[in-house]
Amino acid sequence: MHRIAQIIQQAAWNSTTYFRKSPNADKCAPTIKQKIIDKRKLRKRWQNTRSWQDKAKLNKAANELKQLLNDQKQKFIQTYLESLKATEAREYSLWKATKRLQCPETPILPPRTEGREWAKSDTQKAKVQADHFANVFKPYNSELPEDEEGKCCMPLKLQAGWQPQSKNSNSLK
């Protein structure tokens, strides 16, 4: 029995695809990290003082950071395009290879609770989903009396007055 469970588990692991981040996804240039730290310090200072000089410094730091991030993204796209090889899988097309770079990733937002807050934990999400299904899948309120409703919705064989046809040899000919 233990061996069967191992085989099933191994088959499930082999057939499941995992989305792995690229190894360079978490790496960031030290200059960009420093700009992020500086921008956060400037934002904290501006939030405390509300000075227009601090706001100007914050805006300048934010624009510099945007420019650095944009340059890094363009450099990544350039190296990606240069490393492409003309293969049959890509149908020898740069358009097909770079199509995914142009599409923005749309985030999948968690559901909202009745209090209009985001459901963060799995149990909260399950409860919101269960409540939604309970509200959506309610029985239809019919205006017919119960005895008539049963007759119109029941198959013919289950209704009270139905008699099966006799199957004798004469009726088959």
Specify whether the CB–CB gap between 119 and 113 falls below 8 A. Answer: yes
93 lies in some domain: yes
Residue 143 lies in a domain: no
- Tell me the HSE value of 38 on the side-chain side, using a 13 A CA sphere: 15
Domain count, the chain: 1
DSSP for 83-106 reads: T----TTTTT-HHHHHHHHHSPPP
137 belongs to a structural domain: no
Is 0.75 topped by the overall pTM?
A: no
- Give me the pLDDT at residue 168, please: 60
* Residue 111 Cα distances to 114, 118, 129, 144, angstroms: 10, 6, 8, 37
- Write the Ramachandran bin of 43: left for phi over 0, alpha for psi from -120 to 50, otherwise beta: alpha
Token pair for residue 90?
A: 């890509």
> Backbone dihedral region of 98: left (phi > 0), alpha (psi from -120 to 50 degrees) or beta?
alpha
Residue 154 lies in a domain: no
Give the residue numbers spanning the domain of 31: 23-102
Any domain includes 133: no
Q: How confident is the model at residue 163, as a pLDDT?
A: 63
Average pLDDT for 49-74:
95
Position 54 pLDDT exceeds 90:
yes
Q: Look at residue 144 and tell me if it is in a domain.
A: no
Asked if residue 119 is part of any domain, the answer here is no
Output the pLDDT for position 56: 97
Residue type, 143: E
